[in-house]
């Protein structure tokens, strides 16, 4: 199995998650694996509520800056064939917000979510 990702879609009726996968790391097309409604309280499916979590740092590079942003990876199981790890919807939105802030040059807004470094 190749790489996979969880996409958050905001619909008029609320959020929905779509899991996409690729057959191999160098594949050109993605395949829709499943779609589900996340748990409203924490943005996860009920099967993810008992999942293992790992605090990591993600780098966001945009507009001559790099932001180090802390996020939580969610692992459904330790089985290497299972889907994951995933970001919570809040963390995915946080990374998007940092990227948009850096793109418009709003360093203060980006710095609310992590450390910011200027590229030389």
Q: For residue range 54-111, what is the model confidence (pLDDT) as tens digits?
A: 899 999 999 899 999 999 888 776 666 666 677 777 888 888 899 999 999 999 999 9
H-state helical runs in the chain: 89-103, 107-111
pTM attached to this predicted model: 0.58
Q: How far apart are CA 74 and CA 88, in angstroms?
A: 7
Q: What count of Cα atoms within 13 Å lies in the side-chain half-sphere of residue 7?
A: 14
The token pair at 110 is 């980006």
Q: For residue range 10-19, what is the model confidence (pLDDT) as tens digits?
A: 878 778 888 8
Q: For residue range 3-50, what is the model confidence (pLDDT) as tens digits?
A: 777 888 887 877 888 888 777 666 677 787 778 877 655 555 545 556
pLDDT category at 1 given cuts 50, 70, 90 is low
Q: How far apart are CA 26 and CA 15, in angstroms?
A: 30
Q: Which stretches of the chain are assigned E, i.e. beta strand? A: 4-11, 14-21, 31-36, 52-62, 65-75, 86-87, 115-118
């Amino acid at each position: 199995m190749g790489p996979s990702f969880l996409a958050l879609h905001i619909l008029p009726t609320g959020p929905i998650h779509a899991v996409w996968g690729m057959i191999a790391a160098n594949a050109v097309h993605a395949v829709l694996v499943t779609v589900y409604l996340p748990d409203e309280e924490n943005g996860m499916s009920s099967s993810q509520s008992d999942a293992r979590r790992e605090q990591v740092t993600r780098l966001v590079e945009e507009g001559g800056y790099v932001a180090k942003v802390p996020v939580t990876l969610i692992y459904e199981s330790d089985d290497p064939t299972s889907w994951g790890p995933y970001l919570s919807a809040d963390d995915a939105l946080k990374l998007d917000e940092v990227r948009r802030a850096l793109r418009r040059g709003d360093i203060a807004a980006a710095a609310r979510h992590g450390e910011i470094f200027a590229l030389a």
